[in-house]
Amino acid sequence: YGQFCECDDSSCDRSLSGLLCGGHGLCNCGRCECDAGWTGPACDCRDDVSQCLSPDGKICSGHGECVCGHCRRCDDGYSGQFCSECETCPDKCESLKACVECLAFSSGDLMETFDGRKHGHADFCWENCELQFKYREKLSSRIPVNMVNCTVKNASYCQYTFSYKLEDWTKNGPEKVFLHLDEDGEKGICPTVVKIDYLGMIIGLVFMIVAVGMLTILLWKVFTTITDRREFAQFEQEREKMKFNSNSNPIFKQATTTIMNPIYSKGDF
What does the pLDDT read at residue 253? 72
What does the pLDDT read at residue 267? 56
pTM, two decimal places? 0.46
- 172: nearest Cα among 241, 95, 262: 95
Handedness of CA 22, 28, 30, 36 (dihedral sign): negative
Distance CA 174, CA 172 (A): 7
Listed as ranges, residues in the chain with pLDDT below 50 are: 269
Q: C-alpha distances in angstroms, 101 versus 27, 97, 144, 157, 187?
A: 62, 6, 21, 12, 11
Distance CA 263, CA 269 (A): 13
What does the pLDDT read at residue 84? 80
What does the pLDDT read at residue 214? 94
